[in-house]
Structure 1
Amino acid sequence: AVEAILFLDMINIRYLTGFAGSEGALLIGQEEATLLIDGRYATQARQEAHGVKVFEYQDRIDGIVAVILEDGSKTVGFEAQAISYDTYTRLKNRLKGTKLRPVSDEISTIRAIKGEREIAAIRKAAEISSGALTSVYDFIRPGVRERDLAVDLEFKMRHNGAEGVSFATIVASGTNSALPHAAPSSRKIEDGDVVVIDCGAVYGGYHSDETCTFAVGQANDRQKEVYRLVKEAHDRARDTVRAGVPCSVVDRAARTCIEDRGLGAYFPHGTGHGVGLAIHEAPRIAAKSKGALEAGMVVTIEPGVYIPDIWGIRIEDTVLVKEDGCEVLTKIVKDFIILT
């Protein structure tokens, strides 16, 4: 057991306090919670943070030490993944009478279940992203560079109200589409290409995530066949989603579908992940995932098949877990669209 918890992950700090700055710390102590910031964020912290005392420091380590000593806790938990070895060592050397204990496992899912306000923000982010993607369909044509299409799509998301993009937009055409996380390049789209576009918007701090795969000009029989397979895997996994279902079972629904057609080796990643204030957060939907889905979680369903040096196909939706199923928050229907 711990008497206090030190948070250094700024996403968790935003979740717990409302403070959206880029540096600080939070101690949830025995009697009160204290948000630690430097002078750059003094006004912002007092405007945004709620339910906490604001402590302004000149030096971050000095500030953390002072607040912990004032709190009087003898055992303080901390987020292991959010602290450097240097910071940990300096705190340990200064807090001789205090035991520091990692508690990452215990707090890794604190953001997993979303409230009504959070769901509304994700729904709006998905609406912005889907709308922006459909608005650039005419730009997905031979001769257009992947990089230019990505820039146009990101501009449309911001123009439509996004605070930013969830991640660097993926536009991958031809053989590049066989790379699950390809970066947009100077390659020009060609007739007959498969084009994978993976994008998301940020609204109110919350992210969306959606992937569509298109064919440009024409699609051959093999492309149509694999698209139908990935769509079937996506639909099976989506239809498995409901409260109480183990995350590994959702992954298995998609993976078995692809493995049964002999393409399991070309599906190298998990079926999905949680989405919220971070683009990747709990829960993880993969073969070795522990735990089960709960109502209020928001997760992606994103199976894919990637044939090296040829092309790849991925289909992704963001869904809200409910007691009796799920609601698809992303807006684009996942039929195979051939853009001519």
Structure 2
Amino acid sequence: MPFERTAYQTRLSRLCSSSFFQGEIQALILFDLNNIRYLTGFSGSDGVLVIRPPTAILLVDGRYVTQAQEEAQDTDLYHYQDKVDGIEAVLEPKDGDRIGFEASAVSYEFYQKLADRLREERLKPLSEELNNLRAVKDDDEVSCIRRAAELAGGVLEAVARTIRPGISERDLALEIDFGAKRAGAERMAFETIVASGANAALPHAKPGRKILEYGDLIVVDYGVVSEGYCSDETCTFCLGSADDRKREIYARVKESHDQALEAIRPGVPCSRIDQIARSCLAKYGLDGYFTHGTGHGVGLEVHEAPRISRNSDTILVEGMVVTIEPGVYLPGQWGIRIEDTVLVHENGADILTKMPKDFIIL
């Protein structure tokens, strides 16, 4: 992780002094590996973080001791043989303790083991309460996301020049993935979507054997991971030529995208951004073909808080990184989605993704 050690100390201190520990909770057990990485720098694939202010202890098994010593230098370490034994040992639970834990990050089977050992009445499941832990990014995190977006944009720009009729969706997706790895990406942020023709009407289509044809709309939704952080971007191209209907609807989706971007600034409700994007399409009778939320947060995960949707109660804060991705999907015909990832700052939205969003005919 490319951060100064003080970044992790600051994040832990902020959590320890937060409202979590000013009420009924005396300790917190974190199992989500992205939250653990955010708070300590540890990037292994298994571990537990136990926080009892002012202390935090990272628990790992023998596979990760050396890695944890190198990555989480300012966090106390505990090497466990059995995970539940280790949690009990470092917690040293006392009568009256209330212990919060990430309910969504453990199986019911593991919860039962934990409840048997620590006593079920002590445990308080947490879910929504932790959603915003990583929602506001610091400058180092924004730099990582920006670099991921730059890398991804360079890859798609190069691959787009090679797109021709006769290539399959699957082969095009593989070219993007291979190009990203060759350019230095750790991995793809999610399975690359390449959808053409009628498949483009499926918001989360999987690239298949369909061959790209002259006149197809091609939706490419892709992202990479660089230094642990994700990018996310969607471009819709047209292969060969486009009729007036495709040009018209692309312009409507672009208008929706641009209006939502213009509305982004601190203090604006996420639900308001979604409403703006949706209302723009409604003017043209297209809102019924926009079948998902307008966006989501991006960071260590490609989908994280906040959600840009009609049901969100989150208010935008400076430092949040979110996507804006309206789309129109005409079943059995084709679809169009335009997505950028942006930083919320005091003057509005700073676009981090790099591909142009004008209508591009290949």
Band of TM-score, shorter chain: over 0.9
Contact conserved, 1:30 with 1:73, CA < 8 A, in 2? no
Structure 1 length normalisation: TM-score?
A: 0.97
* Amino acid across the alignment from 1:216: L
Contact conserved, 2:93 with 2:118, CA < 8 A, in 1? no
Secondary structure of residue in 2 paired with 1:136: helix
Task: Report the Cα offset of residue 30 of structure 1.
Answer: 3.5
Q: How does 1:260-275 map to 2 (within 5 A)?
A: 260-275=283-298
Which runs of no fewer than 5 residues in structure 1 stay unpaired? Answer: none
Q: How does 1:310-321 map to 2 (within 5 A)?
A: 310-321=333-344
| Number of equivalences | 339
Matched, 1:337 2:360: yes
Which runs of no fewer than 5 residues in structure 2 stay unpaired? Answer: 1-23
Matched, 1:99 2:99: no
Pick the aligned partner of 1:241 from 264, 270, 273.
264
Contact conserved, 1:171 with 1:195, CA < 8 A, in 2? yes
Task: Report the Cα offset of residue 140 of structure 1.
Answer: 1.6
Structure 2 length normalisation: TM-score?
A: 0.91
Contact conserved, 1:4 with 1:73, CA < 8 A, in 2? no
Pick the aligned partner of 2:203 from 180, 183, 187.
180
Secondary structure of residue in 2 paired with 1:139: coil
Q: CA offsets per residue over residues 11-39 of structure 1, 9 Å max, x none?
A: 10000110000111100013411111110
Tell me the residue number matched to 1:278.
Answer: 301
Tell me the residue number matched to 2:81.
Answer: 58
Tell me the residue number matched to 1:227.
Answer: 250
Pick the aligned partner of 2:38 from 7, 15, 19.
15
Instruction: Sort the Cα spacing of 1:71 and 1:170 in 2 relative to 1 into closer, same or farther, 3 A.
Output: farther
Task: Report the Cα offset of residue 98 of structure 1.
Answer: 6.3
Tell me the residue number matched to 1:308.
Answer: 331
Q: CA offsets per residue over residues 74-101 of structure 1, 9 Å max, x none?
A: 1110111112111111111111386001
Pick the aligned partner of 1:166 from 183, 189, 192.
189
Contact conserved, 1:145 with 1:188, CA < 8 A, in 2? yes
Contact conserved, 2:222 with 2:234, CA < 8 A, in 1? yes
In 1, distance between residues paired with 2:305 and 2:53? Answer: 27
Secondary structure of residue in 1 paired with 2:92: helix
Instruction: Sort the Cα spacing of 1:142 and 1:56 in 2 relative to 1 into closer, same or farther, 3 A.
Output: same
Tell me the residue number matched to 2:100.
Answer: 77
Tell me the residue number matched to 1:290.
Answer: 313
Identity of aligned residues (%): 54
* Amino acid across the alignment from 2:103: A
* Amino acid across the alignment from 1:302: E
In 1, distance between residues paired with 2:340 and 2:274? Answer: 14
Tell me the residue number matched to 1:326.
Answer: 349
Instruction: Sort the Cα spacing of 1:315 and 1:278 in 2 relative to 1 into closer, same or farther, 3 A.
Output: same
Task: Report the Cα offset of residue 50 of structure 1.
Answer: 3.7
Contact conserved, 1:8 with 1:82, CA < 8 A, in 2? yes
Q: How does 1:21-40 map to 2 (within 5 A)?
A: 21-40=44-63
My pick for the range that moved more, 174-183 or 48-57, is: 48-57
Moved over 6 A (4+): 70-73
In 1, distance between residues paired with 2:73 and 2:272? Answer: 39
* Amino acid across the alignment from 1:10: L
In 1, distance between residues paired with 2:166 and 2:55? Answer: 60
In 1, distance between residues paired with 2:188 and 2:110? Answer: 31
Matched, 1:147 2:162: no
Contact conserved, 1:80 with 1:102, CA < 8 A, in 2? yes
